[in-house]
């Protein structure tokens, strides 16, 4: 069974059949199959694109007064697409979600064009929604270090090995800049212990990168493995839950919520904020932006450059609080 078969069920296909003529519904299934098997899109992205296309087809069915077919896609005008986006805005959908929806529908239109079934020109003539880019909210260095330390978990009545496990995961997020999904997808045989000082990470878009692992992070993982009561399969997950199964990201999120109260941190202090902190603190200490881009696994330098704005904001705040004429 292929990746597409795991994601795309008969129920998904029937949903398209209810919203579009058979030929268009079959093309939708072929498009999703290509994204899954050739482009290697994640299950979450496939699910979002499926939902977005369903919503667009549902809109077209009301807009046209019938189930749309391939000819309707070929005859699409920019005004039809703008009408869909306007409808979604009245339903409270924000620009970021609209941008993703438009990207998914454009991708489907390009699929039809490649197959010689329809033109995607109408979608090229629709301006994408503008998104106000919010700056990442890093955690101060002292608190970020505390989150990766078992000492700040004193008073927590959970089992000691679980507290050490949570500290090891957070050490990877802050010490190596990993996404939580990347940390929790590590296999036992990949554990950076016994002098191993790097990890090969499979990140977004199935891109691999080499990430160095500093001594404190290795020690945190070694402490976890020494206390973990479960026998870990070399090809199984490195981090396991209380019953020995794969560790859920939600467990780490809940652990962070507990520590926020203990350390007096804001709600923005999430596991992903540790990754932001990794990048911001490296930059503040003179780290090269290109090197930080590689460590984070960003495809584009523009994605990493947002941290220069964070660092500039920090410097400006320090200047305003310290300079005698800043007020």
CA 4-7-10 angle, to 5 degrees, is 95
Is 307 catalytic? The answer is yes
Q: Which of 204, 207, 290, 320 is catalytic?
A: 204
Residue pair 145/262 in contact by the 8 Å Cβ criterion? no
User: What is the rounded CA–CA span in Å between residue 327 and residue 321?
Assistant: 8
Q: Which of 88, 145, 260, 298 is catalytic?
A: 298
CA-CA-CA-CA torsion sign (277, 280, 286, 290): positive
CA-CA-CA-CA torsion sign (150, 258, 266, 324): negative
Q: Which of 49, 174, 224, 307 is catalytic?
A: 307
Q: Which of 88, 111, 272, 281 is catalytic?
A: 272
Is 117 catalytic? The answer is no
Q: Which of 88, 275, 276, 281 is catalytic?
A: 275
Q: What are the Cα distances from residue 15, in Å, to 25, 102, 149, 319?
A: 9, 20, 49, 58
Please give the backbone phi and psi of residue 240, each rounded to the nearest 5 degrees, phi first. Answer: -120, 160
Residue pair 316/309 in contact by the 8 Å Cβ criterion? no
Is 87 catalytic? The answer is no
Residue pair 36/8 in contact by the 8 Å Cβ criterion? yes
User: What is the rounded CA–CA span in Å between residue 201 and residue 182?
Assistant: 7
Q: What are the Cα distances from residue 81, in Å, to 87, 96, 209, 287?
A: 10, 16, 38, 44
Is 298 catalytic? The answer is yes
Residue pair 112/70 in contact by the 8 Å Cβ criterion? yes
Q: What are the Cα distances from residue 317, in Å, to 49, 121, 271?
A: 41, 47, 25
Token pair, residue 230, equals 């479960």
CA 52-57-60 angle, to 5 degrees, is 130
Q: Which of 145, 153, 179, 281 is catalytic?
A: 179
Token pair, residue 290, equals 């290109």
Is 63 catalytic? The answer is no
Is 281 catalytic? The answer is no
Residues with active-site annotation? 179, 204, 272, 275, 298, 307
């Amino acid at each position: 069974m292929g990746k597409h078969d795991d994601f795309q069920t008969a129920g998904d296909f029937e949903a398209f059949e209810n919203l579009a003529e058979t030929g268009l519904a079959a093309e939708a299934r072929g498009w999703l199959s290509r994204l899954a098997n050739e482009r290697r899109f994640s299950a979450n992205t496939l699910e979002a694109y499926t939902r977005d296309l369903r919503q667009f087809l549902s809109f077209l069915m009301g807009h046209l007064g019938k189930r749309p077919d391939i000819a309707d896609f070929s005859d699409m005008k920019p005004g039809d697409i703008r009408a869909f986006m306007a409808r979604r805005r009245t339903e409270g959908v924000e620009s970021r979600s609209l941008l993703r929806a438009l990207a998914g529908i454009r991708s489907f239109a390009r699929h039809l064009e490649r197959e010689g079934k329809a033109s995607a020109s109408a979608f090229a003539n629709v301006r994408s929604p503008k998104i106000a880019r919010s700056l990442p909210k890093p955690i101060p260095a002292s608190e970020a270090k505390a989150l990766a330390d078992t000492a700040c978990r004193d008073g927590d009545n959970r089992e000691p090995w679980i507290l050490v496990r949570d500290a090891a995961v957070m050490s990877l997020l802050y010490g190596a800049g990993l996404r939580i999904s990347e940390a929790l997808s590590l296999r036992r045989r990949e554990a950076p212990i016994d002098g191993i000082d790097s990890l090969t990470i499979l990140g977004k878009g199935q891109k691999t990168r080499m990430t160095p692992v500093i001594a404190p992070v290795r020690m945190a993982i070694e402490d976890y493995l020494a206390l973990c009561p479960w026998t870990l399969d070399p090809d199984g997950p490195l981090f396991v839950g209380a019953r020995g199964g794969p560790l859920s990201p939600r467990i780490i999120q809940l652990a962070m919520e507990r520590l926020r109260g203990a350390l007096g941190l804001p709600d923005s202090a999430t596991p992903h904020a540790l990754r932001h902190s990794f990048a911001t603190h490296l930059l503040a200490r003179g780290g090269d932006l290109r090197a930080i881009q590689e460590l984070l696994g960003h495809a584009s330098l523009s994605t990493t450059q947002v941290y220069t704005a964070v660092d500039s904001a920090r410097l400006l705040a320090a200047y305003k609080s310290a300079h005698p004429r800043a007020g």
